[in-house]
Structure 1
Amino acid sequence: MKKRIIPVWMLFAASGILSAQANPSSGENYIYTKTNLSDPSLPGTPKIAETVQYFDGLGRPSQVVSVKASPSGKDLVTQIPYDPFGRQAESWLPAPMATSNGAIQSGVGSAAQTYYSDNFPFSRNNMEASPLNRVLSQVQPGSDWQQHPVGLEYEVNGGDVNKYTATYNYSTLQSSISLSGTYGENQLYKNTATDEDGNVSIEFKDKGGQTILIRKMLSAAEKADTYYVYNEYNQLAYVIPPLASVSGALNQTTLDQLCYQYKYDERNRLVEKKLPGKGWEYMVYDRQDRLVLSQDPNLGTASNSFNTPGWIFTKYDQFGRVVYTGFFASTAGRVALQTEINNMTSNSENMEARSSTPLTLNGMEVYYTKNAFPTTGMTVLSVNYYDTYPSGAPSLPTQILAQEVITDTAASGITTKSLPLASFVKNIEDNNWTKNYSWYDKRGRAVGIYSFNHLGGYTKTESLFDFSGVAQQTVTRHKRLSSDTERVITENFQYDAQNRLLVHKHQVDTNPEEILTQNTYNDLSQITGKKVGGVSVSASLQNIDYAYNIRGWMTQINDPQNLGSDLFGYKINYTVVEGMETPNLDFSSLKVKPKFNGNIAETVWKTSTVPGDHLRRYGYVYDGLNRLLAGFYQKDINPSAKEYFEKMDYDLNGNITNLKRSAYVDQGNFAGIIDILAYTYTGNRLNTVTDSSTDYRGYPDTSGTQIEYDNNANINHYQDKGILNITYNYLNLPSNIIFYKALYTRLGVKRENTSYLYRADGIKLRKTYNYAPFNPSGTVTQLKTKTTEYLDGFQYESGESLKGQTTALALKFIPTAEGYYNFENNKYIYNYTDHLGNVRLSYFNNGSSLEVVEENNYYPFGMKHEGYNVLAGNPAYKYGYNGKELQTESGMYDYGARFYMPDIARWGVVDPLAEKMRKHSPYNYAFNNPIRFIDPDGRSGKDIIILTANGSFKASKDLMYKTAEGKRIWDKYGSSKTDDIYINSSVFPKNDRTMAETYTLTRKESFLNDNKISNIGKTYPSLESFEGLDISKSGDKNVHLMAFNESFFTNEVSEKYTKITNSPTLGEVKEEYDLSDLTKVVYHETKAHIEDRTGDADQDHKKLGESKFQGYITPNSPMDLFDKQLIKIIQLQNEEKYKSKK
C-alpha cells in the first residue's frame, strides 16, 4: 500500500501564508520543512531554510534536499541507499548540486564523488548475516580509510575477568570489597572495538547491562583495566582504575589512594564519596531529595576560606529554584545534620520566600526569608532573584536598541514571571559584591545584561537580535570605577541568507570602526577564507585560507610552504608523514606513523618573522592508549638535530613517570638536553621530581624535594619551584602563593608572594604580586607591588609601586574575536592561533606595514621554545598556550578551574570532574594527548577533532526548529553546548543498549499516555542553576560517562528508527523510535552524560529488570523544556498527518 504524504506547505497554501518557496517533485512522497530566518511579514526577500525529505514506496527516506543551503545557492543533497536486505549500509556525505528548487535530484552519488575528489564519500557498515544486523566493521569516508576500518566483535568472557564483591550496610554506612576469584566463562557479554589504528577497547557487561570492566589494550601483553563494582543494591560502590586493578585484591591503602568509593543512604541518595587521594566528601538532603549541604575535606577543618569548620549550603524557593547559597559554620557531622533536617516540623518544605523586609547578611540586603535550614551561622555567598526585580535595582529601560523591554508588572500579561532577573555574587576574600541584572524583550530574550562590579563601576552589555534570535549588534559600556570615563565597545554582525557570519565589525569608543573578519565559505559551509583587520572591506591586513579533509578535519591554515604575504602558515597531517619516520635515533623504536583514528601524525609551520625563516615540524608518536609518547621536532635544514623534543613514559593511570626534553643546538650538531625528569608517586600524588640533567632551562630545580598536599589533594608546598605554601579558597583556587626567598639569585627577582581575589562563582578579579629586583650585593631591597585587575574582559594593570603603596591602574586591553585591542597605543593586535588555540604569532598595522609583536612556539605539553622567536611581545598580554594566561611568577597557566604546570605536564589540583574519566589520573593534562585535546576551563579534556556522527544533530535540530520556541530552546540549551562534543559512534558496539533503555518506557509515558510526563527523581531549581550545577557535589548517583551510540538507529535522518534486540528472557524484541526520540536521546546523552557528567541523569533510565526501565525527567531542567516542546511539535505533526490521511 503506497503511503501518501501531503507536504506541510500545502496546509497553508490556501490561506496565502507562504511566499515563494521550494517546488518539490510531484508524484513523490516527501515532507517539506520551512523555517523562517527573518520576519515573513516584512517587505523584501525573506531569509528561509528549506528542506525536502523524500521517501520511497516503503516509506523509507531516500533523499534529503537542503534547498539552496550552500553559500553559492546550490542544493545540498544526501542520498540514502539500501542494501538488498533493506539495511542502510552506507551513509553518504551531502553533495552540493545546482539547485532544482527542492525537486528530487539524480546523479547524487557521482556528484558527491566529484565534489570530494574521492571515490568513497560515504561511510560503510559491514553487517553480520543475521536478523540482529550487528555491525562487524565500519569504514569511514575517504580513500585513506578504506583499508583502516573499525572492527567490532561480539563475544562472551573467558576466565580473565576478576570478580569483585561489595557489601553495604545502610544503618552503619559500612562498605567492604573483596576479590572472589574470576567470573565463570560465558557469564559476561564481551564487546570488542578495534579502532582504525589497531587500538583495542573491550567492554564487559553482566546480564543486567551493568558495565563490569572496561579494558584497554596497551599492547598484546599489557592491559589497562577499569573495574566497576556494585553492592547488593545495584549501586555503584567502587571504581578501580588501572593502576589499582593490577593489585588484584585491594587493601584500604590502595582503595584510599587510587580508587573511587561511594556510599548511599536508605533513600538511594549518594551521601558520602571519596575520590583518589582526597578525604571523604559528604552530602545532606532535605525531604524533597534536594542537596542542602555539602562538605569536602578542607571545609571540615578550620583550614579553609572561612577559618572554621562548616558546610556549603543551598536554599530553594517553592518552585525548587536556588535563591541563595553560602557557608554554614558547624562542627556537626553529616548524620547529625541529616537527622536534624529530617525532623524539621516548622517549614518542613524547607523553602524560602521573597520578603519585602530585607535581611542584612555579609554586607548585602537579602530580600528573602530565613526559615529554611540553616538559619544561623551563615555566610551568604550568592543570591538569585526571579519573577520580580529586587529593591534597589536600576531603573528599567523601556527599550534597548529599539527592542521593547518587558517589566514585572506589564498589563499585557507578557511579564518577567519565571525569568531569572538578578544575581548577586560575593567576593570570597571580602564582603564586596557583584550585582548582575538581566532585561528581556517580549520573546524572553536577554537583550540587556548589566553587571555592577565590586569597585562601584559597571559593565553593561546590550544586544540587538533579529527575528530568529541571531545577534545583529552588541554594545558594551564599561567603567572600572563610577568616576571613570565610560568605555563603549560596539560590535556589528552581518550574515548571509542562511545566517552564516559574513562580516564582524568592532569599534572602541568613537575610533574608526575596524573590520575584524570577513568570512567566505565552501559549499559545505566550512570557513575557507577569512580576511582579517583593516578599516575597509577591500584592504584587509591578512587573508587567511583554511583547508579540510573529507572527514571535515582541518588540515591547513595558509600554506606553510608558500607563505607569500601571509605571516604564518600551519599544516596538520593525519594520514601521511612528510618528515622523518625516525627523527631521533636515541629512540629508534619510536617512529612517526600515519594515523587514521583522529590522532595527528604531524604539524608543520612557518612564519615570516624573519626573512627566509625555516619550515619547522613536529612528528608525534602514540601508544595503544592514544597517549603521546614523543613529539619530535624537525627543522628543514637539520631535521636530525634532536631539538625541542619531549619524550614521556607513563604508568597505567597516565601519570608521567619519566620525561626527557631538549632545547636548541648551542654548539656542535645536536641539541642540549635540558630535562631528564624522574617522577615518584604515592597513588596519583606526585611526591618528587628529580632532574638529572643539571640544566635549569626546563624544570627549575634538580634536588627532587618532597611535594606536599592539603586534605583536598591540592599541592600546597613545592620547593623545587620555590613555592613555600599555597593557600586555597573553598573552590580549590589559589588565594595566596608564598615563595621561597632563597631562590631569587637564580631567578633574577626576589618573589615574595602572589595573592588572588575571586568571586564566589570562581571568577578571578585581582592578582597582586609582591617582589624585589635581584641585588647582587645581597643587601635587602624594598619590596615592590604590581596589581592586575580582571573585569568582564577589561584587564587593568598598575605600574610598579612600593609594597603598601598604590598606583593608578591603567586599562591595558580587551580581548576581541581575533586577538585584542591595546589601549596603550590604541591598536588592534591580531593573533594567529593553531588548531589548539595556542597564540602563535601576534601582529598589528603600524601605519605603513604589518609589525609582528611576538611569535610563540611550544613543546607538545606547553612549554615555550627558547632560543629563537625572541620578540619582546606585550608584557601586559600573557595569554599563550591554549589561549590561557601565564602566571609568570609561578610559571603556571590559569585555565579557570585549575592551574597547569607545563614543565611537568600536570595539574596541581584534582580534576573537579575526575569522575567523568576515572580510568585517567585526576592530575593528567588532556588525557596525555595535548595535540588532539585541550582543556577549555581546567575541568575536562575536549577533542578538537570534531566528529559529528552521521547527521543526528542536524536531524534533531531540524525537528526542534519546527517551532519558534523549539528553536530558541535548541539554540540556548542544545547546539550551543553540544555541537562541539566529541561523539564517535564508530567505536561503540551496535548492541550497546544505552539509548534503547532510555526510551523503552519514557517514550510511551511522554507521548502515548495523554502526554503525561513521569516526574520521578530529583528537582533542580531552574534552568540557569541546572546549567551551573556542580554535579560532582550534587548527590547524583552512579556518576559515569555514558557512551553515545548512534548506531542503534538504522537511519539518522528518517522519521522512524527500528532496533531489534534479542533478549535472553524475552526473545526477539522489536522497538520503534521516532525522530523526537532521537532528538531527546541526542540531548540527553550529550547534555546529561557528557556535559553534566551524571549517571542517574536527566531523562535517564532506572533498571527494574530485564525488560523494565523507569525513566524520569527532572522538573525545571533543560530536558523538561525540551520534552514539553517536543510534545507540542509531535502534536502538530500528528494533526498534520491526520489531515493528510483525510
Structure 2
Amino acid sequence: MKRFCILVCIFIKIILLQGLSAIAQQDDVVRVYYFNQEVDSARFSITYKNGFHVPEGSTYRGFISTATTLSLSDEKPYIIKYRPLAPLSNPEIPTLGRDKVQRDITYFDGNGQKLQEVKIQASPRGFDIVYPFDHDLMGRETTSYMPYEDIFERPEELYGNYEYWALTTYNLYYMDGYARNNITVNSHPYSQTRFEDSPLNRVREVGSVGKAWQITALPDTSNTQRLFYKGNEADEVVLYTVLIGAAGERTLTRTSNNSMYSPNSLDKTAVHDENWKSGDMDPGTVHEFKDRDGRVVLKRSFVKEGNNTITLSTYYVYDELGHLCFVLPPGAIPDSDGVPNQTALDNFCYQYRYDNRGRCVEKKIPGKGKEFIIYNELNQVVLTQDAVQRGKSPQEWYCYKYDGQGRTVMEGIYSHGGSTANTDMRSIVQSSVTNGTVLWESRVSGGEGYSNQSFPTTGLTHQVLRYYDDYDLPQGNPYPFAEGSKLTMGLETAKKVSVLGTSDYLWTVSYYDEESRLAKQFIQHYKDGQVHLDNVDEITNNYSFVGDLLSSGRIHRTAGGAPLTIVDEYEYDHRSRLSKKWNKIGNQQKILVKEQEYNILEQHTGTDMGVAAVSYSYNERGWLKKISSSHFTEELKYNDPSAGATPQFNGNISEQHWKHGSSANSTMKYSYDATNRLLSGISSTPGSLSEVLTYDVMGNIKTLLRDGGTMTSYSYTGNKLQGLSGGIMGAYDYDANGNATLDRTGMAFTYNHLNLPKTATKTGASVSYVYDAEGAKLRKFATVGSTSTQRDYIGGIEYSKVGSGTNAIEMIHTDEGYLQNNGGNYVYHYNLTDHLGNVRATLQRTSATAVTVIQKHDYYPFGKAKAIVTSGVNKYLYNGKEVQEELGGQLDYGARFYDAEIGRWNVVDPLAEQGRRWSPYTYAFNNPIRFIDPDGMWPNDGIKKFFRGFGTTLMGIANGSQLHNQIISSVSTAVSTVEHLSKGDYSGAGNQFLESTGAPEIVRTVGKAADGDMEAIGSVAAVVTVGIVTHKAGGKQNVGSKAVTADAVEDLVRVRHHSTNSGVKGIEKSNSINASRGEPYGVDVEVAPFLPPSKVNMGQVGGGVKGGGFVEFSVPKSAVGPIPGYMGGTGNAGRIVTGGSPLNLNGTKPTFNRNWWNW
C-alpha cells in the first residue's frame, strides 16, 4: 500500500511537469530535423541547419526568450545562494543556468527550522539534489535522510522549487530498478537517533543508513551505537593526584595505596559499538569518566583473551591548576595498587611540566628522553631541545625567530657555547630569553635580510629563512617575475631552505594572482648535489573564476641540460567536480589520461584512462565495496561475508575477494578483537599471504605466524622492540629519541635532527640520504657489494645513476602512475590500486588503446609484498610508498620508515600524543586492512576516505608540494595535513547528526577536545568531533567549541576585528580582541584559543559584549566596509568563541587556520 501511494504521488508529479518540460529553455538550440515538436525556446539563439523542414499543415513556433528568475514558491521562507562561475554583473545572476551560476536554496518552517535543501541542477546529470529534513515536537532531528536526485525535467525557472513529496517519495530513489545513476540500492536510506526521556536530552542510540543499522526494539537485533550514562561506582576508578614542587616539578601520588574516587563523583559514559551484542559483556564497549570540571580522567576498553577479559585503562591526571601532567596508558598497569614507578612512567607514560605562567616547558614521551621548550615574553616558542640534542657537547637547540607580526622568519640550530652533554640547561636558556629586550626581527637590506637582535644572536646556523609581503630579497631576487600580483601583503613570497649536512641553500620564490592563489613558483632543486640558478623547476598555474585549477605547467631545468616541459590540464563539471585530465610532456602528443564520473553523493564511481577503465561501487554506508577493471578486481565484504568470516558492522572488513585479470578468484578472511586490532588474515590459498597475530596491552605485536610456518616472538622493554626470535631473528638498539639505531638485519642507523635516517651501514652495504631542512628527501646513495647507485628526487621526478654511468631521468610520477624515460621518449604507466592505495597491477601503455601488464603484486595483511609479475621498475607499492631494498624492504612514508616484515615502525610517532593509549611504534592502529598512514604521522580510515578529495590534491601537485616519499612542504604543513586526515567521522553518517544535537558534550571521536587525545577509533566509534585542533610542530592543543545555530556563516570560528593587515599573530601579541568601533573595516575568522573571555571586547559591533566567552553578534552590512583588495559577499550572522587553553602548550610555533568571512 505504501509503495502504491508513493507511485501515485510520482505519477501526479509527472503529469504536472509533463506539459512544462517541453518548453524548458536552453542557452542555444541547434535544429537539423523536425521531430513534430510544436515549440523551440532558447535564451540566446536557435540555429536551423540545412534539412530542417516543417511539413505543410504542421504548427511550429520558435522564439528567443531571456530566462526569468527562478519561480520560487513564497509559501516557505527560504535563503538562496548564488555562486557565479564567471565574472558577472549582479542583475544577470538569477537569470543564468547551471553552467554559469551554482545555486543552492534552503527552505525553513515558521520556527526557523530547516525543512529542505535543494542544490539546484547540481547532480552530474543536471537535476536537483534534494536534502529533506524532519524534526520532532521538540525540534530534534530524530531521522536524518539521504539526499535524492529529482530526475524530472522541467522549465529552467521551476528548478529549485520546494518538493512537497520529499519525505514520502525520497526512498523511491534508492529502490531496486530506479534510475539512480550509480547509487547503491538501499531499503532504509535514513538514519535514526533515539534520545533519553529526560530534560538532559542526551542521545541514547544512533543508527545509520541501511537496513542492518536501523534502531530496533531488541538490542541484539540491531547494529547501532548505544550510549549509557551513570555515575561511577565505588572501587571503579583509581584516584591519582599531583604534587607541585618548589621548582615546578610534578609528582604523581595517591593519598593512600588504594585510594579510589568516591561513588557518583564522576560522570560515566559507556558506548557500545556496532558489533556489540549483549553476550559480549564489556568487550566492544568504551567507558569514559569525566570529573565535575568536564575533564576526562579515564578511558577504559576491554578485550577477550581466551576466557578472560582484559581491561585496558588510560588515566589522565591533572594538577590543582587543571594542567594535564600525566597520562597513564595500560602498559603502566594503572588500575593496580600504588603508583607506577619511574621506570614504568618513562617506558609507558606521558609526563608534562609547566612554568608559573601555565606553559608546558618540559615533556616526556614514552621511549624518548625529555624535551624542553623555551618561550619569549609573547608566549611564542623560540627554542626546543630533544634528548639527542642535549646529549651533544656543546648542546644544540632548535630555534624559531619571528617578525613583528608574529610570523616565523628564521629557523635554525643554536649551538649553546660552554654547555656540556646531558646537563639540564633549560632554566639558564629561559632566563637568557626572558632577559632579552628585543622580541622580533625586522627586515634589513644586508645579510640574510633580517636583523639579528632577538635571542640567540650568536651560535645560530640558519635552516629556513622565510620572506613575506614583497620581493625585496637579500642579494636580489634570484627568480624575478614581472607579471605577479602586487597584492602580496601577508603572503610568503620566498624562502631559503638549508640542505642538511652542507652549507648549501635552495630558494623557492612564489608569485600569486589577484586572488592570492599561487600563480607561479620557482623551486630550486639539488640535482647532482649542485646549487645552481639553472637547477630550477618553474611552475605555472591557471585557475577558473571560482578557483578550480585549469592547468599546471612545469618547466624542469637543469644546469647544462635541455628543459623538459610537463603540462597538466583539467576540466570540471558545473559543480567543480574534476571530469577530465590531459597530460603533455615535451614534444609528445597530448594525452587524455583520465575521465572521471560521480554520483549525487559525490562518490567517485568511475575512471576511464583510455587504455583501462575502472569502476567503483559502495555499500549503503558509503564504504567502498568494489573496484572493477579488466586487469584487477577487488570486492570488500563488511556485514555480508560469503566465505565464513564474522560479519563486521563498524567499518572493519570481514573479507577481501580479488583477482588479476582472468585468473581465479582469491579470498582473504579477517578477524578482529574488541578494540578492532587485526587478529588474523587467512588466505584461501594454503601457505600464501596468511598472518596470525597476538598483542600486548599497548598494541605491540607479541607473536606473528605467517603462512603457518615458524612463529616469530617479539620481546620488549616498554614499547621498544629489543629482539625477535623464531621465524624472524634480530636485535634492536635505540638512541635517546627512540629511533632504532640497530635493526633486525644488522643495519646500523644514524639520524638527523628531524629523526629521519641519515646513514645506514652494515657489512657489504651502506645507504646515505640527503634531506633539506623541511624534511624533503633530495638524494640517496647506496652501495651493495660492488654496485653503487645514486638517486635524485625532484618533486616527483627521479634521476637514477648506476656506477659511473649517466645521471638521467628514470621516471616522473603522476596521479595515475608514472612516466618512464625510454631514450628521451616517456612511456605512460598506470597503477591499479586497491582500497588502501596498494599497487596491485602496473600497466604499460603500448598504443592509444592497448597496455601490457608489467607488474602484479599481492600483499600480506601488514604489507609484506608478494610479487607475481616483476618486469617493471615500480618500487612504489604498498600504500604507494617507495621500497628501500637495501634496508630489508622498509618503506619510506616521509616522516619515518615502516618495516612490513614485522608490522612496526622503527621510529617513535611524531604525533604520539594524539594516540596515548597506543604504542608509538604500532602501524595503523594494528588494523592495516582498514587504516592507512599517508605520511608516517597519523593513520586515517582508508575505507571512508577512499577517493575523497579527488581533484583537491591537484593544487599540491601543481605547486610541487605533493612529493613522493617526502614530508610535505614542512613539518608544520605535514602536521596540518595529518589534522585534516585524522578529524574524520569514523562512525559514519550518524556522527554528523550527533554534532547538531548536543551529543558532542558526551560523545567524541578522533579530534576530541579536552586533553588533545585523538585515539578514540574503532570501538569508540560513536564519538564525535567537538573542537578545532591547532597543531604545532612539537605538540598541540585542542580547543572545545559549541556548534552555531543553523545557517550561520561558519560552524566553528574565532573572530577578531581586522583594522589592518597585521597578520594572524596580532591577537596573540595584544592578548585581546577589540572591535569596539561602530564601523569596523572588516572581520576575519581565525583560531585564537589563547584568549580568556575577559580579553574579548566586541563593543558597539552589533551590540556585542565584553567577556562571557561565547558571544553571539550581528553586524549589518551597512556597518562593514571591505578590506582593501578584498571582494565582499553577503551575510551578517556570526559568533565568537573564546576561553580556550593557552597556545604553545607542548611545542614549537603555532599553526593558524584562517578563512575569510564573506560579509
TM-score using structure 2 length = 0.74
Which whole-Å deviations, capped at 9, do the CAs of 1:1013-1059 have from their partners, x for residues lacking one? xxxxxxxxxxxxxx99972525x5xx56x799xxx86xxxxx835xx
Q: In structure 1, what is the Cα distance between the partners aligned to 2:919 and 2:631?
A: 39
Q: Distance in 1 between matches of 2:245 and 2:205?
A: 45
State the shift of 1:221 in Å.
2.7
Number of equivalent positions: 911
1:571 and 2:635 are equivalent in the alignment: yes
Instruction: Judge conservation of contact 2:242–2:253 (CA < 8 Å) in 1.
Output: yes
- Relative distance call for 1:1124 and 1:880 in structure 2 (3 A) is farther
2:323 corresponds in structure 1 to: 235
Residue type at the aligned position of 1:367? G
Offset from partner CA, 1:85-142 (integer Å, 9 cap, x none) = 4321001010111364111013223543222233311110111222322111111011
Find 2:603's aligned residue among 515, 521, 526: 526
Task: Flag the 1:569–1:788 CA change in 2: closer, same or farther, 3 A.
Answer: same
Structure 2 residue 403 is the aligned partner of structure 1 residue 317:
yes
Does structure 1 residue 935 correspond to structure 2 residue 929? no
Is contact 2:583-2:591 (8 Å) kept? yes
Instruction: Give me the whole-angstrom Cα distance separating, in 1, the residues matched to 2:324 and 2:1093.
Output: 15
Partner residue in 1 for 2:863: 862
Distance of aligned partners of 1:573 and 1:1082 in 2 relative to their CA distance in 1, 3 Å threshold: farther
2:935 maps to 1:882: no
Do the aligned residues in 1 keep the contact of 2:938 with 2:982 (CA within 8 Å)?
Answer: no
- Partner of 1:256 in structure 2? 346
Q: Confirm whether residue 279 of structure 1 aligns to residue 369 of structure 2.
A: yes
| CA separation of 1:172 and 1:134: change in aligned 2, threshold 3 A | closer
Deviation of residue 981 (structure 1)? 3.7
Cα distance in structure 2, aligned partners of 1:125 and 1:1028: 27
Aligned residue in 1 for 2:1078 = none
Question: Conserved in 2, the CA contact under 8 Å of 1:754 and 1:769?
Answer: yes
1:765 aligns to 2:781 (yes or no): no
Q: Residue in 2 aligned with 1:33? A: 81
What is the TM-score with the length of structure 1 in the denominator? 0.75
1:1030-1109 equivalences under 5 Å are: 1031=1032, 1033=1034, 1039=1037, 1056=1045, 1075-1076=1048-1049, 1078-1080=1051-1053, 1098-1100=1087-1089
Q: CA deviation at 1:845?
A: 2.3
Contact 2:941 2:986 in 1 (8 A): no
% identity of equivalent residues: 32
* Alignment deviations for residues 683-725 of structure 1 (CA, whole Å, 9 cap, x no partner): 101111102x4xxxxx4xx3x4x3111111111012x3131x2
Alignment check: 8 A CA contact 2:1048 2:1134 kept: no
AA paired with 1:406?
S
Task: Report 1:141-290 matches (<5 A).
Answer: 141-146=209-214, 147-159=222-234, 160-169=236-245, 171-178=247-254, 180=256, 181-198=259-276, 199-219=284-304, 221-244=309-332, 245-248=334-337, 249-290=339-380
RMSD after superposition: 3.5
Checking the alignment, whether the CA contact within 8 Å between 1:1076 and 1:1130 is kept in structure 2 is no
Secondary structure of the residue that 2:390 maps to in structure 1? Answer: coil
Query: 2:554 is matched with which residue: 465, 476, 480?
Result: 476
Aligned partner (choices 540, 547, 552) of residue 462 of structure 1: 540
Pick the aligned partner of 2:159 from 101, 118, 140: 101
Contact 1:947 1:984 in 2 (8 A): no
Q: Describe the SS at the equivalent of 1:299.
A: helix
Match of residue 687, structure 1, among 722, 735, 738: 722
Give the Cα separation in 2 of the matches to 1:1128 and 1:211. Answer: 42
Amino acid paired to 1:872:
S
Structure 1 distance, partners of 2:916, 2:401, is 31
Aligned partners of 1:446, 1:819: CA distance in 2, in Å?
25
| Corresponding position of 1:726 | 749
Question: Contact (CA 8 Å) 1:287, 1:349: kept in 2 or not?
Answer: no
Q: Secondary structure at the match of 1:313?
A: strand
Choose the corresponding residue for 1:755, options 739, 744, 768: 768
Q: How far 1:593 sits from its partner (Å)?
A: 0.9
Contact 2:624 2:944 in 1 (8 A): no
Alignment match of 2:142 (pick from 89, 109, 114): 89
- Give the aligned partner of residue 23 of structure 1: 71
- Cα distance in 1 between the residues matched to 2:415 and 2:1109: 39
The one-letter code matched in structure 1 to 2:826 is N
Contact 1:915/1:1032 (8 A) holds in 2: no
Distance 1:885 1:788 in 2: 12
Q: Which residue of 2 aligns with 1:334?
A: 426
Letter in structure 1 aligned against 2:224 = P
For the residue of structure 2 that corresponds to 1:192, the secondary structure is: strand
Offset of 1:980 from its aligned partner? Answer: 7.5
Greater mean alpha carbon deviation, residues 308-317 or residues 266-275: 308-317
Q: Which residue of 1 aligns with 2:656?
A: 603
Instruction: Please give the alpha-carbon distance, in whole angstroms, between the structure 2 residues aligned to 1:817 and 1:201.
Output: 40
Question: For the residues of structure 1 that align with 2:71 and 2:1134, how far apart are their CA atoms?
Answer: 24
- Distance in 2 (alpha carbons) for counterparts of 1:207 and 1:258: 27
Query: How far apart in 1 are the matches of 2:636 and 2:851?
Result: 26
2:201 match: 133
1:661 is the counterpart of 2:703:
no
1:910 aligns with 2:994: no
CA distance in 2, matches of 1:941, 1:133: 34
Query: How do 1:840-851 and structure 2 match up within 5 A?
Result: 840-847=840-847, 849-851=850-852
1:462 Cα offset (Å):
0.6
Secondary structure in 2 matching 1:136: strand
- Given the alignment of the two structures, is residue 434 of structure 1 paired with residue 506 of structure 2, yes or no? yes
CA pair 204-1100 structure 1, distance change in 2 beyond 3 A: farther
| 3-state SS of paired residue (1:314) | strand
Distance in 2 between residues matched to 1:462 and 1:857, nearest whole Å: 39
> What is the CA distance between 1:351 and its match in structure 2?
1.1
Aligned partner of residue 889 in structure 1, secondary structure: helix
Residue 963 of structure 2 is matched in structure 1 by none
- Alpha-carbon shift at residue 1126 of structure 1 (Å): 14
Residues 611 and 850, structure 2, Cα contact 8 Å, conserved in 1:
no
Distance 1:185 1:492 in 2: 65
- Post-superposition offset of 1:246: 4.7
* Kept in 1: contact 2:975–2:1033 (CA 8 A): no
Give the letter for the 2:751 counterpart.
Y
**C-alpha spacing 1:924/1:865, structure 2 compared with 1 (3 Å):** same
Identify if the C-alpha distance between structure 1 residues 974 and 1081 changes in structure 2 by more than 3 Å, giving closer, same or farther.
Answer: farther
Which letter does structure 2 place at the counterpart of 1:104? Y
CA distance, structure 1, for counterparts of residue 77 and residue 210 of structure 2:
31
Residue matched to 1:343: 435
2:795 aligned to 789, 792, 796, which one?
Answer: 792
Aligned to 1:543: 613
Letter in 2 for 1:145: W
Aligned to 1:388: 470
Farther off after superposition, 706-715 or 21-30 = 21-30
Q: Which amino acid aligns with 1:200?
A: T
Separation (CA, whole Å) in 2 of partners of 1:857 and 1:268: 52
Contact 2:115–2:132 (Cα < 8 Å) also in 1: yes
Query: Measured at CA, do residues 183 and 66 of structure 1 come closer, stay the same or move farther in structure 2, by a change above 3 Å?
Result: same
Q: Which residue, 973, 981, 984 being the options, matches 1:982?
A: 984
Structure 2 counterpart of 1:208, one-letter code:
D
SS of the counterpart of 1:340?
A: helix
Deviation of the 1:508 alpha carbon: 0.6
Partners of 1:241 and 1:494 lie apart in 2 by: 50
Cα pair distance change 1:173/1:822, threshold 3 Å: same
CA deviations over 1:585-640 (Å, ceiling 9, x no partner): xxxxxxx21111111111111112xxx411012111110111111111114xxxxx
